[in-house]
Structure 1
Amino acid sequence: MFDLSGRLAVVIGGGRGIGRAAAEALADQGAKLVVADQSLELLTEAFGAREGVVLRQLDVLDSGQLEALADEFPETDILLHCPAKGARKALVDLSMDEVESVLRLNVTSLWDTIRCFAPAMVSRGRGSIIAFSSIRASVVEPGQGIYAASKGAVSQLVKGFASELSPSGVRVNAIAPGVVETPLTSSLRSNEEWYRAYSEKSALGRWAQPEEMAGAVVYLASDAASYVTGSVLSVDGGWTAIDGRYNPPI
């Protein structure tokens, strides 16, 4: 059910972190791989030794470049969108530029990416589109309000696209990670108190590694998820399932 042999997977933002781990997992399951990222250096470092992987430098905020990529690979079966950024600051202290920067990358670029790739998928009557939401779409803490708002928008955008594309055979889903050790979270991990507190918050008592998101990507991309669309799959170590950081005696 998880065999992806013969399918073409396009990974947007696959140069590092979760995107890189997911792209490697898709290739390991037999998918033909196209990996795009803003940094060609990162792509070459990650995938230069892998035979048959197509690398493309891409500015995901440039509609023209997205359209060109979609036109170049009209037989895309799996589309994975990974780029994201945050702005750890009180909502009242954010500038308009900071707000627009987060929303443009996290939300608008996802909409634009799907807009470009979906028509060919619809015409072929199949496809799996996967985005990344977050635990912050469900639970928020001070300083992450705009990031949380953007990830809430991702969850709803996925459901909106699923409602419109799934009747044509194109599934659209999202993954909601918890805290993952990636470049995006490097500032948090550098603070020992934060790192420990975040570890203790999850039921598993630790941060995730990027590779631990890859199984969910493969699942949603594969026939194992053939009846799954419009869903947001939590891969958060139990973060959103348990109540608070204090364990009362039982």
Structure 2
Amino acid sequence: MDYSTMFRLDGKHAVVIGCGGIGAEIVEGMAAQGARVTCLDAQEEVAAAAATRAAEHSEAAARRADVLDPGSLADVAAQVADVDVLVLTAATNVRKPVLDYSAAEFDRVVDLNLRGTFNAVQAFAPAMAARGSGSIIALSSIRALAVEPGQGVYAATKAGMVQLLRALAAELGPRGVRVNAVAPGVVETPLTEQIRADEAWGRAYAEKSALGRWARPEELVGAVAYLASDAASFVTGSQLLVDGGWTAIDGRFTPPFG
């Protein structure tokens, strides 16, 4: 092991699906570590913007691909050769009590968060397994572990994703492919704008973590780059929490001392 380069991604080809918000930061971060990056997004302009940022550091390309369209994913997978790293970030949420959900809302959250992961892995993992190496990383959430009112369906999809990834880790490990999740806490993204727009709600979320603040999107990059790198060569079937200590002190109460 060359410890001076074990965290670098030189010579690796990374495919990132979902290139807005956190995904855009991951794209640039992996390119800065030397990876060649292919940016995939249902919105072609989002993929192109991420690729432009990445191109300042390494070779980058952009394509339109929809995780809800297995055919389009299969077409891209057939055209994109030698994928070493697959990163999945696409997700959505509808915040409301489970009993208030419509069937259409349920389907929308489950389809993108869970079926989208299934579709992406089915498209790209076979070539990794055939080659005998690869790293698959999906963004889960602290909601896979701790839930609150209004987060039930989203939490179910993220918990389901983690179990799906663990099964894949077991199935693909003998073929040289590692599969892991990164679980963010509360992050300043468009998906959480509703929360941050409410001062009391936003402050309450910040105070739930040990660090007392929200995460910035770029603070997820290190965890993803680590799992993509040779430094994580014996890490699979794991969920890496990047939550500022939220789950360590969930329900915190600081008692009066003395």
- TM-score interval, smaller chain: over 0.9
Match of 1:185 among 180, 184, 192: 192
Contact 2:48 2:63 in 1 (8 A): no
- Superposed CA deviations along residues 85-108 of structure 1, whole A, max 9, x for unmatched, are 011010011011111110100000
Aligned length: 249
- Structure 2: distance between partners of 1:91 and 1:104: 16
User: Is residue 2:207 matched to residue 1:203?
Assistant: no
- Structure 2: distance between partners of 1:144 and 1:161: 26
- Structure 2: distance between partners of 1:91 and 1:148: 11
Contact 1:200 1:245 in 2 (8 A): no
User: Is residue 2:45 matched to residue 1:2?
Assistant: no
Give the aligned partner of residue 3 of structure 2. none
User: Taking structure 1 as reference, are residues 243 and 169 closer, same or farther at Cα in structure 2, changes over 3 Å only?
Assistant: same
CA shift for structure 1 position 59: 1.5
- Structure 2: distance between partners of 1:197 and 1:245: 11
- Superposed CA deviations along residues 4-57 of structure 1, whole A, max 9, x for unmatched, are 11110000001x211111111110000001001122222333333525310011
Match of 2:60 among 53, 58, 72: 53
- Structure 2: distance between partners of 1:61 and 1:23: 21
Gaps of 5+ in 2: 1-5
The 3-state SS of whatever aligns with 1:48 is helix
If the length of structure 2 is used for normalisation, what is the TM-score? 0.94
Contact 1:19 1:82 in 2 (8 A): yes
Letter in 2 for 1:10: V
Contact 1:40 1:57 in 2 (8 A): yes
Alpha-carbon RMSD: 1.1
Q: How does 1:144-163 map to 2 (within 5 A)?
A: 144-163=151-170
Contact 2:38 2:51 in 1 (8 A): no
Give the aligned partner of residue 33 of structure 2. 29
Match of 2:101 among 89, 94, 97: 94
The 3-state SS of whatever aligns with 1:65 is helix
Letter in 2 for 1:38: A
Q: How does 1:99-110 map to 2 (within 5 A)?
A: 99-110=106-117
